[in-house]
Amino acid sequence: MNFVFYDTETTGTNTAFDQILQFGAIRTDAELNELERFEVRCRLLPWVVPSPGALKITGVSPDLLEDPSLPSHFQMMGMIERKLKSWSPATFVGYNSISFDENLLRQSFFQTLRSPFLTNTNGNCRGDVMRLVHACYAYAPNTMAAPLNEKNNPSFKLDQLAPANGFSHERAHDAIADVEATIYLSKLARDRAKLVWERIHEMAQKPYAQTVLEREVVLCQTEFYASKEHSWLVTKCGQNTKNNVEVATFDLSNDPTPYLTIGEEALVDVLERSPKVIRTVRTNAQPILMPLSDATPNTKGIELSEGELMDRVSAIKSNDGFQTRVGFAMAKRYKDREPSPYPELQIYDRFPDRSDEALKTAFHDADDWQERASIAGQFEDQRLAHFAYRTVYAEAPGVLRSEHRTKIEGWIASRIQGSEGDAPWTTLPAAIDEANKIQTFVTGDAAEHMAGVAAYLRELQRIKN
């Protein structure tokens, strides 16, 4: 299967409320030879305030945010969707993409009335080179150099890791340049740690991860927090009854006996406890699960004798009731969660029905924005209706009825000014404060750039008031 390596540059780090400003991707064959590349930028959405910190990192200027020669966000997402579909099926790969870029891309498709799950449906799967780098660091430590950060811990930031391993990365935080750096690190891992590369690459496929959890009774599960490796000897001990991609694993450094007979509600508490006795593996998120024979000296449970280890595994595997209760407990963890009032955060609440799916298609196939405005009023799903109306406003506000236009303009003013209280997105007042703080410590070109950002935000504030 081919790979599609991709990266996004954005207005900030909130994947539900920030937007993609630049998208870059390179399609390779299975041997990582480049076949084709694609790159696109877009203008700023009218309801998004860019984070000055994000603009400082990417170097994007206010002029570029408003450049009329660039496509709109809606147009750009259409270009991205068409390109990625033409490259499918493939393994879609980024750097820290499962935690960030994947969610942002999914939200961008959702909010522009497209299929949110393009990268992991219809034969596609997703991977993350940061997971590969973490696995190499833990299980093949001579694969690549990891520079130290200010806390003397290894740094896995792409703009530091790639240069430390011989990649010339002068254009760090440019989407296509970051894609090139990601491919470079992938080749290093493939050439220097072949077994780790093969295992983690296979873990990008959900069925393979599920099979490994069933087949290998003891596994090394590895996760990284604050750049530090944490590994455990584990065995599968349950599966979420309402979400089959969530599998429970038991940390075998603990005696399972006290947990084998407790009820579901008590197990919910165990699942939330820290340090965790029962951990969660998401089989669609390329988990790092290595064979017992590869256990590192840092692995919890490695000190157990083979007999004691297998006794603990046997106690869990022979207790079907315990495994069943764990599965129900996993499903109960979020049962009392209040639904979000924001449609962006309702992405996983439900799937649109068939009639609304047909309307999404009609919206994109429409000949003009007047027709799209009419379709916007036909959605039963209020999330989709909201996204449709605001998209029409961003593209052709004049086709909307005055009451709809006034409502959206009021919503935009409230959103960017932060009138709704403790907003989870970047507001104008917050952005101005952030720009002022950044100006106190930047110098040279960075100072000039941030002065322009601050002036742009103040002018935006003046206009919106």
Q: How far is CA 258 from the centre of its chain?
A: 36
Instruction: Encode pLDDT of 187-199 as tens digits.
Output: 999 999 999 999 9
Specify whether 30 is located in the same domain as 116. yes
CA-nearest of 454, 429, 457, 428 to 440 is 454
Specify whether 26 is located in the same domain as 170. yes
Instruction: pLDDT band for 168, please (50, 70, 90 cuts).
Output: confident
Asked if residue 407 belongs to a domain, the reply is yes
Instruction: pLDDT band for 293, please (50, 70, 90 cuts).
Output: very high
- Residue 92 backbone phi and psi in degrees, to 5: -90, 125
Specify whether 266 is located in the same domain as 321. yes
Specify whether 286 is located in the same domain as 324. yes
- What b-and-e string marks burial along 379-400, b requiring 16 or more CB atoms within 10 Å of the CB? bebebbbbbbbbbbbbeeeebb
Asked if residue 230 belongs to a domain, the reply is yes
Pairing of strands 219-225, 3-10: unpaired
Specify whether 152 is located in the same domain as 16. yes
Specify whether 29 is located in the same domain as 168. yes
What's the CATH code of the domain at 213?
3.30.1520.20
Specify whether 395 is located in the same domain as 455. no
Specify whether 254 is located in the same domain as 373. no
What average pLDDT does range 410-427 have in this prediction? Answer: 88
Specify whether 176 is located in the same domain as 42. yes
Instruction: pLDDT band for 421, please (50, 70, 90 cuts).
Output: low
Asked if residue 294 belongs to a domain, the reply is yes
pTM of the prediction?
A: 0.94
- 227: DSSP letter: T
Asked if residue 423 belongs to a domain, the reply is no
Range of the domain at 358: 346-417
Instruction: Encode pLDDT of 246-284 as tens digits.
Output: 999 999 999 999 999 999 999 999 999 999 999 999 999
DSSP H helical ranges for 273-319? 306-317
Q: How many domains would you assign to the chain?
A: 4
